[in-house]
Structure 1
Amino acid sequence: MPNNQTKGLAQGAMMIAIFAVLIAISLYVPLVSFVATIFAPLPLAWYSSKYDRNQSIFVAILAIAITFFIGGLLILPFSFIFASIGVVMGITLQLKKSKIFLLMATGLTVLITFAIDYLITLKLFEFDFIKELMQLMRTSYEQSLTLTQNITGQSPITTENLELLFEMLETTIPAAVTIAAFVLAFVIISLNLPILKRLGVNVPKFSALKDLKLPRSILWYYLIVLSINLFVKPEVGTTLYVICLNLSMVLWVLLTIQGLSFILYFLDKKVKLTNLIKVLVILLAIPLYSFVVLIGIVDLGFDIRGLVKDKVQK
């Protein structure tokens, strides 16, 4: 037992050091900062998959504290998010949960830690970084419009439409943050799990996208939100309007993924799918997302996969 504890402490210290180095690289080395950021949860994920929960949380707290001496107070929110991601990933892997569960847990961790960081910076430092980011985007966009107008002699967008655009962006911040959190979680999982597997950790696998079937309840949520927009018609700026708009964005993304899944399923039954074809389908789906959403709705509402399967077998 003492040997196991000594080994755990030694490996914990090593993981803390690696985590601190990755955070330092992401802070001070611009060219590889994104790569270091994506792999920052890796050491704590590995440690949390090998040792018990309390020990893993203690190591993560120490890792966050160590980063304070690297980047000061401003780095703590950043290291808090990625240390939490690592611990949640490791615990989920230790419990042998599915990859979908891992994605949901990691995405929720990103959302919760981001919300905590936002509230702390807002209350303690009276600094709203979302508002500052929106102001920076507005300034940058206005400068680009001015440059375009000076070159072409006409503005590509009116002042009124510009105001409407940024009002829409501000309204959809909750949905944008939610989608971004799960995209980040997906990228982190996809890139870190192969390495964890090489390090001796049992990792789950995603089913192929063509086999994805989201819960049918998503279709009902979409129909409810659509009905509210059509019949209640909430006024712009009201709470109901904000809720419906953000839910619509999230549901559009989910239905687009479902539509892509059916398209890949259909093509797989007709031709041999290569990675190139998959990439082309996904790229073509971006400008045709309305059509893809419609396919996703039909796929969830009706068993058209069964019809395709029966037709192919015949």
Structure 2
Amino acid sequence: MKRTNALTEGAIMLALFTVLVFITLTVPLLGSITLLALPLPLIVYAGKHEFKNNILLAAASVPIVFLLGSVAGLSLSVPAALIGLIMGTLYRKRGSAAAVIGASFGFLLSILAGYMVSILFFQINPLQEFETIMKQSVDQAIGFLEMAGQKPEEEQITQMRTQMDQLFTIFPSILIGVSFFSAIILHAIASPILRRLKLKSDRLKPFRDWRLPQSIAWYYIAVMILSFIDFEKGSFMETAVTNLFTILLLLLVMQGLSFVFYYAFVKGISKGIPVLVVVFSLFFPFLLYPVQFLGIIDIGFRLRERITPKS
């Protein structure tokens, strides 16, 4: 009976997954919405059944989606199936926090796998192509300004090109950030559905209670010291140190913002105040430095423990 239920539910989820892939491929506007929801059928199934059944469902989805959408269908279904299996299994066994972390790795692995497939089978390097397009766009913009008699100064052009190079240097950090926030969004979609179906899905801690381990502060200091070393431009060490520094910086900023929300909660301050801090920090990046410093103090000196609630 149990096996029959697993097969029946698997067939239903497979049909739903196939429909979502079809919509994503054929309906442009609606497809952009369903794209992130693709793993949902497998999350629900994996949140209820054993790993062996989950693998069989994922394996069955590949030939069906291939017949439906060819290579384009596979490029969507394989990553979605992987993320769905990881997230659903971790919901069932480890809880929501582990599911979000696992989904982050799933998104990142899918992006990297797609990147490698593009290079190995299609001889196209997406990053290099994007970099070429961006540089051509900058050259065209400079050309238009020169034609209009408003040629920018050489220093401005150099600064623009330097910033572009830095953007491509921290591209791995950008991928990690995109993977994490994609996992958070997917959790926000999946968690209410799982709870409605009486499946395990505990709520994540409120953002104000997010706390990083104290070791993060020491890692940040160590990487900051390494950043003063003049590594060869474009070398592995320069790229590695720059990306580690960027990731740790973002983690400390997140810790600082978490402390702002915690302080507002403990002191009974309006929720709008910390929200404004986040908004202003996004629009005025120089504010991220004091927020980052606040994060370091919060981690290193246990600042939260020194705050007394409003009487």
Check whether TM > 0.5. yes
Aligned-partner SS, 1:184:
helix
Is structure 2 residue 221 aligned with structure 1 residue 223?
Answer: yes
Residues in 1 aligned to 2:269 and 2:150: alpha-carbon distance in whole angstroms: 51
Residues in 2 aligned to 1:6 and 1:227: alpha-carbon distance in whole angstroms: 60
Residues in 1 aligned to 2:147 and 2:193: alpha-carbon distance in whole angstroms: 51
Is structure 2 residue 259 aligned with structure 1 residue 262?
Answer: yes
Is structure 2 residue 180 aligned with structure 1 residue 182?
Answer: yes
Residues in 1 aligned to 2:33 and 2:149: alpha-carbon distance in whole angstroms: 39
The structural deviation recorded for 1:149 is 6.1
Is structure 2 residue 287 aligned with structure 1 residue 291?
Answer: no
Residues in 2 aligned to 1:19 and 1:137: alpha-carbon distance in whole angstroms: 36
Residue 195 of structure 1, aligned match among 193, 209, 212? 193
**1:208/1:228 CA distance change after superposition, 3 Å:** same
The structural deviation recorded for 1:206 is 1.0
Deviations, residues 214-242 of structure 1 (Å, cap 9, x unaligned)? 11111111010011123x33232222211
**1:4/1:267 CA distance change after superposition, 3 Å:** same
Residues in 2 aligned to 1:191 and 1:150: alpha-carbon distance in whole angstroms: 50
For 1:24, the equivalent position in structure 2 comes to: 22
Q: 1:293 corresponds to which letter in structure 2?
A: Q
Residues in 1 aligned to 2:307 and 2:56: alpha-carbon distance in whole angstroms: 53
Deviations, residues 88-131 of structure 1 (Å, cap 9, x unaligned)? 11111121x23221111111111122222222222122222222
Deviations, residues 38-67 of structure 1 (Å, cap 9, x unaligned)? 211110100111111011111112213222
**1:298/1:126 CA distance change after superposition, 3 Å:** same
Task: Give TM-score scaled by structure 1 length.
Answer: 0.89
| Native 8 Å contact 2:266 2:310 kept in 1 | no
The structural deviation recorded for 1:249 is 1.0
For 2:91, the equivalent position in structure 1 comes to: 93
Is structure 2 residue 175 aligned with structure 1 residue 161?
Answer: no
Residues in 2 aligned to 1:160 and 1:281: alpha-carbon distance in whole angstroms: 33
| Native 8 Å contact 1:260 1:285 kept in 2 | no
Residues in 2 aligned to 1:33 and 1:141: alpha-carbon distance in whole angstroms: 32
**Correspondence 1:1-314 to 2 at 5 A:** 3-95=1-93, 97-143=94-140, 146=143, 153-155=150-152, 158-230=156-228, 232-274=229-271, 276-286=272-282, 287=284, 288-309=287-308, 312=309
Q: 1:41 corresponds to which letter in structure 2?
A: P
**1:159/1:56 CA distance change after superposition, 3 Å:** same
Deviations, residues 137-169 of structure 1 (Å, cap 9, x unaligned)? 444455455556666834488443333233212
RMSD across aligned positions (CA)? 2.2
Q: 1:98 corresponds to which letter in structure 2?
A: G
| Native 8 Å contact 1:146 1:155 kept in 2 | no
Q: 1:200 corresponds to which letter in structure 2?
A: K
**1:199/1:210 CA distance change after superposition, 3 Å:** same
Identity %: 27
User: Unpaired segments of 5 or more residues in structure 1?
Assistant: none
User: Unpaired segments of 5 or more residues in structure 2?
Assistant: none
Task: Give TM-score scaled by structure 2 length.
Answer: 0.90
Residues in 2 aligned to 1:86 and 1:40: alpha-carbon distance in whole angstroms: 8
Q: 2:81 corresponds to which letter in structure 1?
A: A
Number of aligned residue pairs: 307
Deviations, residues 265-293 of structure 1 (Å, cap 9, x unaligned)? 1122223443x444323212222111111
**1:136/1:204 CA distance change after superposition, 3 Å:** farther
Residues in 2 aligned to 1:248 and 1:62: alpha-carbon distance in whole angstroms: 42
Residues in 1 aligned to 2:152 and 2:255: alpha-carbon distance in whole angstroms: 38
